[in-house]
Structure 1
Amino acid sequence: MSALPPRSVAVVLGTRPELVKLTELIRLLGPAAHVVHTGQHYDEELSGRFLAEFGIPEPTRLTGVGGQPRAVQISAALGQLDAVFRAGPTRAVVVQGDTNAALAGALAANARALPLVHVEAGLRSHDRNMPEEHNRVLIDRLADVLCAATPQNRDNLRAEGVPADRIAVTGNTVVEAVHRQLPSASARLAQLARRGLTADGFVLATVHRPENTDDPAALRAVLGELAALAAETPVVLPLHPRTRARAEAAGLTDLLAPLRVTRPLGYRDFLALARHAALLVSDSGGVQEEVTVLGRPLVVVRNSTERPEALGDFATLVAPGPALGRAARERLARGAADRARLAALPSPFGDGRASHRIAGLLTGLVAERTAPYAAAA
């Protein structure tokens, strides 16, 4: 699709969700895409094998970023990104979401006066305790083209004074990611059989956010409710490395025993399980979007969410503690009729053409720049 010069669009990413959501755009850009991986997710299970799974070309890799505190991650990436952009032939920079990698990419693009495209702009939780909220607000102030996934995201930006001509409602790229990566029905059922699971007969859970893992009391509350739920229906928990480490440090491994704990799953494997789970329980932002495409119910274990579009029909927001168990049992009690209702609803995150729209915006943006920016010495 792309007629842009080779390696003219730097796609800066650093985490597994960014790989998921930017794969189709990278494919559409073809040789024009120069993927730069900051290494924010440096664990092979969280990021490395996703490159091969999605067929993403070998990226330029930064060093010294993964495993560091937030400020160190951003500062370590900045100098290296500046060198990449200085070397050229970058004419535009793409970042996605609200990660430290995205903020570093936005700041480096701004320092080099390179046009910046922010995919998934305008999300707001209005919760200043979330580092991601600060990241996404800063990126939106720097971006030249803001790709809002939903009209509500656009309205958030307009309320903050962002000019309308900088905003495009594109839909969310997660919709095409799910459609493209979801295994066939036979492959999904074969995976369930290998794991001793039956369709609509288990709960799929993920827990990784600092608000749930870094506070031992919160982690105990979440794992305790999942363990209690597992006495009634199987609970599958692909365990994030940080969550495992926090549970061990807090002496909570006994709460993992009733659960079907697995290693982190590849994206296709996760979608296969999610498509047939009777319920998902998660603190992930991406899962909030994915369930709207898969037509599955979700209990969101967080204090706030930047994706209110999923609430109501698809998702219920609860804080860690007894409310989690109550909400999970209430959603499970609705049964097959509710899952059928959800499956018939359109996703509020778009029609699966977001990456095509963003690629078109990039083509127009880069066409306006006839040569890379040359920084003053």
Structure 2
Amino acid sequence: MKTLPARSVVVVLGTRPELVKLAELIRVLGPAARVVHTGQHYDEELSGGFLAELGLPEPAYLTGVGGQPRAVQIAAALQGLDALFAAEPPLAVVVQGDTNAALAGALAANARDLPLVHVEAGLRSHDRAMPEEHNRVLIDRLADVLCAATPDNRELLLAEGVPDERIAVTGNPVVEAVRDHLPAAAERARLLAAHGLDADRYVLATVHRPENTDDELALTAVLHELAGLARELPVVLPLHPRTRARIEAAGLLPLLDGVTVLPPAGYGTFLALARHAALIVSDSGGVQEETTVLGRPLVVVRNSTERPESLADFAELVDPGPQIGTAARRRLSEGAPGLHRLANLPSPYGDGTASRRIAGLIAELAEERTAHRSPALAA
């Protein structure tokens, strides 16, 4: 990869999942990367521990974004990014996924006529009730380079009329993120022992999406099914603060009595727990990818998914309610042979070199931008 000038590539992000997936790309870009955090999900833990775990420097933070409604988040981030881009125009802007931060970054780049790279392009749930779906489609229409994680993502983009020359199938950086941050076997064994867990003998669960937490009936149904599973084997639930608040407000704390509730886990801790779970129950998009790298079965509790590749072997999509328990017990009944089968399947999200491919595409785009800016170089 050609050497890029220092601070010449702005990486815009706003949430922990974006930090996780872009960490290796930021490391590969080195001094060329200028990381801007919009503050969409800012909390004090981002400074220090979490960034240190990922091996990242402190980003530049915008203000006035976190905790605001979606439109205000996008508008505030857009205003802050526009000022940054005007003061120090980058050669390229990188955004990842489908967050409000990513959309703000894409709009700001477009407004300043800056080349835009979209990591994780082409995902589609075809569910217009999801704000993320609108963000994905808009970012893909604006991007100059669309880094599709899978061939299916590429086909979706082509069907929407995106020119083939703007699309590159790169794989998903989640593969290297999992491989880089999964603790060693001895550390994983220590962690399980500390929580009184036996490998392949517990369920790991996460619940945080508004469709499950803001709907009291859905939240009750999810917790009821987890409580039922907890009567058969341990259920471990790292509890998101927002989810805890919803549970308390709805008076549902008794449903957690048989569940092992943990504070929100660091990325490495979560991967260690996921690596040895007999089953994972989650509404997370990232977990749908991570389980394919870890070789673990997953029950996805959502109305729709933008990651159908995971459903082929690793995951099942269910609505909140009895389907959770039915699907969970079916996957658990496969036992050790089922886990062995998944462990030997390749992840559909690539070979773990996505970040280097994307960095190469960024370098090519930046070189074109430099030549375009300078007639002497163009000649």
TM-score in terms of structure 2 length: 0.96
Shift of 1:50: 2.1
Matched, 1:168 2:168: yes
Shift of 1:44: 3.4
Paired residue total: 373
CA distance, structure 2, for counterparts of residue 43 and residue 215 of structure 1: 25
Matches of residues 128-147 of structure 1 in structure 2 within 5 Å? 128-147=128-147
SS at 1:368 equivalent: helix
Shift of 1:254: 1.1
Matches of residues 173-184 of structure 1 in structure 2 within 5 Å? 173-184=173-184
Shift of 1:47: 7.7
RMSD of aligned alpha carbons: 1.3
Which residue number in structure 1 is paired with residue 211 of structure 2?
Answer: 211
8 A Cα contact 1:223 1:255, kept in partner? yes
CA distance, structure 2, for counterparts of residue 361 and residue 369 of structure 1: 12
Which residue number in structure 2 is paired with residue 126 of structure 1?
Answer: 126
SS at 1:369 equivalent: helix
Which residue number in structure 1 is paired with residue 376 of structure 2?
Answer: none
Which residue number in structure 2 is paired with residue 43 of structure 1?
Answer: 43
Which residue number in structure 1 is paired with residue 377 of structure 2?
Answer: none
Which residue number in structure 2 is paired with residue 349 of structure 1?
Answer: 349
Which residue number in structure 2 is paired with residue 335 of structure 1?
Answer: 335
Give the residue type in structure 1 aligned to 2:133.
E
Structure 1 residues 228 and 45, CA, compared in 2 at 3 Å: closer, same or farther? farther
CA distance, structure 2, for counterparts of residue 317 and residue 48 of structure 1: 36
CA distance, structure 1, for counterparts of residue 15 and residue 235 of structure 2: 26
Q: Percent identity among equivalent residues?
A: 76
Matched, 1:250 2:244: no
Matched, 1:228 2:238: no
Shift of 1:256: 1.6
Shift of 1:98: 0.2
CA distance, structure 1, for counterparts of residue 297 and residue 352 of structure 2: 20
CA distance, structure 1, for counterparts of residue 270 and residue 371 of structure 2: 42
Which residue number in structure 1 is paired with residue 66 of structure 2?
Answer: 66
Matches of residues 358-377 of structure 1 in structure 2 within 5 Å? 358-370=358-370
8 A Cα contact 2:288 2:315, kept in partner? yes
Give the residue type in structure 1 aligned to 2:230.
A
Matched, 1:97 2:83: no
CA distance, structure 2, for counterparts of residue 371 and residue 39 of structure 1: 34
8 A Cα contact 1:149 1:350, kept in partner? yes
Which residue number in structure 2 is paired with residue 322 of structure 1?
Answer: 322
Shift of 1:48: 6.4
Q: Structure 1 residues 247-256 or 282-291, which shifts more?
A: 247-256
CA distance, structure 2, for counterparts of residue 328 and residue 43 of structure 1: 33
Which residue number in structure 1 is paired with residue 280 of structure 2?
Answer: 280
CA distance, structure 1, for counterparts of residue 76 and residue 369 of structure 2: 29
CA distance, structure 2, for counterparts of residue 218 and residue 60 of structure 1: 38
8 A Cα contact 1:209 1:284, kept in partner? yes
CA distance, structure 2, for counterparts of residue 285 and residue 50 of structure 1: 20
SS at 2:334 equivalent: helix
- Uncovered stretches (5+) of structure 2, i.e. residues with no partner: 374-379
Shift of 1:258: 1.4
Give the residue type in structure 2 aligned to 1:28.
V
SS at 1:330 equivalent: helix
CA distance, structure 2, for counterparts of residue 47 and residue 205 of structure 1: 26
SS at 1:119 equivalent: strand
CA distance, structure 1, for counterparts of residue 328 and residue 310 of structure 2: 16
SS at 1:40 equivalent: coil
Deviations 1:240-296 (A, max 9, x none): 111011111111111122111111100000000100000000000100000000000
Give the residue type in structure 1 aligned to 2:370.
T
CA distance, structure 1, for counterparts of residue 257 and residue 2 of structure 2: 50
CA distance, structure 2, for counterparts of residue 74 and residue 185 of structure 1: 42
SS at 1:268 equivalent: helix
Structure 1 residues 140 and 197, CA, compared in 2 at 3 Å: closer, same or farther? same
8 A Cα contact 2:2 2:363, kept in partner? yes
Matched, 1:271 2:242: no
Which residue number in structure 1 is paired with residue 241 of structure 2?
Answer: 241
TM-score in terms of structure 1 length: 0.97
Matches of residues 24-39 of structure 1 in structure 2 within 5 Å? 24-39=24-39
Shift of 1:89: 4.0
Matched, 1:21 2:24: no
8 A Cα contact 1:96 1:120, kept in partner? yes
- Uncovered stretches (5+) of structure 1, i.e. residues with no partner: none
CA distance, structure 2, for counterparts of residue 259 and residue 46 of structure 1: 28
CA distance, structure 2, for counterparts of residue 179 and residue 295 of structure 1: 12
Give the residue type in structure 2 aligned to 1:342.
L
Shift of 1:64: 1.0
